[in-house]
Amino acid sequence: MHELMTVKEAGIWASNLLGRNVTASNISYLIQYGRIPKKSDKNGSVIVNRHDLEEYYKTHHETKKDRWKKQLGRDLNWDLSFSEYKESETTKHVHRLHSYKGKFIPQLVEYFLDQHTDRFKRDYFFNAGDIVLDPFCGSGTTLVQASELGIHSIGIDVSAFNAFISNIKLGKYNIYDIKHTADAITRKLKQFQREKRNVDFENRLLDELRLYNNQYFPSPEYKYKVIKKVINEKEYGNQKSDEFLPIYNELISEYKIKLTQPGSDTFLDKWFLQVVRDEIDFVFDQIINIADSETKNILALVLSRTVRSCRATTHADLGTLKEPIITTYYCKKHGKICKPLFSISSWWQRYVQDTIKRLLQYSQLRTETFQLCLTGDSRDIDLIERLTKRNPEFGMLLTNRKIDGIFSSPPYVGLINYHEQHAYAYDLFGFERRDELEIGPLFKGQGIDARKSYVKGISDVLNNCKRFMKQDYNVFLVANDKYGLYPQIAALSNMVIVNEYKRPVLNRVEKSRAAYAEIIFHMKEK
């Protein structure tokens, strides 16, 4: 084999070396992200030096499966990683109508709920026509998948916004009306922008950044030099960021762009540039005047998704906001100078199109079953009373049949403040916040008292929900039980853990690459 190879030849060579399929796309990824240096032949075609590739694989030859089992234990059930699915499949149709921390992938729900999924297991636990409960509904993954599988489902969530997300995913819509209404709002937004000049400013800024980044952060050469420590990324990035600031400030002055808002009391006040806030308020005013309630709700969710993507923060801090960003900055995630957003327009239009596409996809898969998420506290809610008020026919079905089981992912102790992650939506839509009712929120920490409170909270939920369940029920709870709390929870709920499924979590929120596992506890009446 020659030392210099085309990308396709490099894939074949690497496949023979590693004993597994390595595609040309895999090789291109290594080049794009600076793992191996980019080279070109005399015709300008990309080529790969065999020695560079060989050097890379010397330290990266272990498969993720082997590496994670070494770190997390040999009892890791790799079948439940669902590694064969693309991201587009794990975020299929309405599951990605809105961002949400801490949700599981739909394939995990299918594995335990679908009686036809015999690929990995012999037993199944639910049948079409059963009723499944998710007392920690979150963004409604269990309910959406239950509908696909012909299973009725009920969700409960203490967060009004979570229930809003879930029920919108499950709704039926006039797609023509959504598109027609959204297009009208987009036209009005463009007219509104002409008076503000922020779009013209942003286009000028993008042109300047393109020239500057091409000169000082050429990709993938720059990334490769950072990996090889030829360049001190922090020093070089900060230096070039400072050098670009005069260009940025000059454009701000020329276009008279308002950056900061007068106050910082609310999330919307603090985390959005003034020009962005103006557009948010403008689109919100258009939405509240929509006559059709279903169209109004779905476009409100589109706006919420848009708002989340337009926060004034760095790309590396999207998951854990630190400080508002009002200038250009060196972006470690992208390896170049980036900027905050100065308009919601592109995200609004992108999410409108994406939402319509996903609603149409789901409309072909859903079944004529009952699905509803209730806002309430699962520790004391009267399911039959509340459900009957919202849907008498579903309430009657629950009274006669009872719930067959639970599939849910309770909050993890001291990990997420569930209301706070959507603070922008609570500010925008005026939903009532009930942070004090969260079980195991981040603000209570992970100390002994917090753990005791968590154990009591989860067991109280299970004991309350048991009142509405049939005798031979199945409970599946997805948890990262690093403190070993679930045996206590089972005992306090008069349940026994009959099985544990330890699964690797490959696609975590904000793209964390650390090895991570969670356990699905299968529980039944003692």
> How buried is residue 213: exposed, middle or buried, by Cβ count under 10 Å (0-12/13-18/19+)?
buried
List pLDDT tens digits, range 8-57: 999 998 888 877 788 888 899 898 888 898 888 888 889 999 889 888 88
Q: Around Cβ 484, how many Cβ atoms within 10 Å?
A: 8
Report pLDDT for 409: 96
Report pLDDT for 81: 87
pTM here is: 0.87
Report pLDDT for 117: 56
Report pLDDT for 269: 94
Give residues with Cβ within 8 angstroms of 105, minimum separation 6: 82, 85, 90, 91, 141, 507
List pLDDT tens digits, range 114-127: 866 555 555 678 99
List the domains of the chain with CATH numbers: 4-61 (no CATH), 67-164+366-525 (3.40.50.150), 175-359 (no CATH)
Lookup result for tokens 């950044």: 209
Q: Which sign does the torsion angle of CA 126, 130, 135, 139 carry?
A: positive
Report pLDDT for 515: 81
Task: Compute the distance between CA of residue 284 and CA of residue 288 in angstroms, rounded to an integer.
Answer: 6
Task: Compute the distance between CA of residue 297 and CA of residue 355 in angstroms, rounded to an integer.
Answer: 12
Q: What is the mean pLDDT of residues 229-244?
A: 95
List pLDDT tens digits, range 348-361: 999 999 999 999 99
Q: Does the structure show a pLDDT above 90 at 383?
A: yes
Give residues with Cβ within 8 angstroms of 489, minimum separation 6: 455, 458, 459, 462
Say if CB 343 and CB 255 are below 8 A apart: no
Band the pLDDT of 397: cuts 50, 70, 90. Answer: very high
Band the pLDDT of 277: cuts 50, 70, 90. Answer: very high
Cα 185 to Cα 124, 198, 224, 287, 351: the distances in Å are 48, 18, 44, 8, 13
Q: Does the structure show a pLDDT above 60 at 1?
A: no
Q: Give me the chain's average pLDDT, please.
A: 92
Task: Compute the distance between CA of residue 495 and CA of residue 526 in angstroms, rounded to an integer.
Answer: 5
Report pLDDT for 240: 96
List pLDDT tens digits, range 293-332: 999 999 999 999 999 999 999 887 776 777 899 999 999 9
- Percent with pLDDT over 90 in the chain: 71
**Three-state DSSP class for 495?**
strand
Give residues with Cβ within 8 angstroms of 16, minimum separation 6: none
- Percent with pLDDT over 70 in the chain: 96
List pLDDT tens digits, range 67-114: 788 888 888 888 888 888 888 899 999 999 999 988 889 999 999 998
Report pLDDT for 71: 85
Report pLDDT for 18: 79
Q: What is the mean pLDDT of residues 483-502?
A: 96
Report pLDDT for 106: 93
List pLDDT tens digits, range 443-480: 999 999 999 999 999 999 999 999 999 999 999 999 98
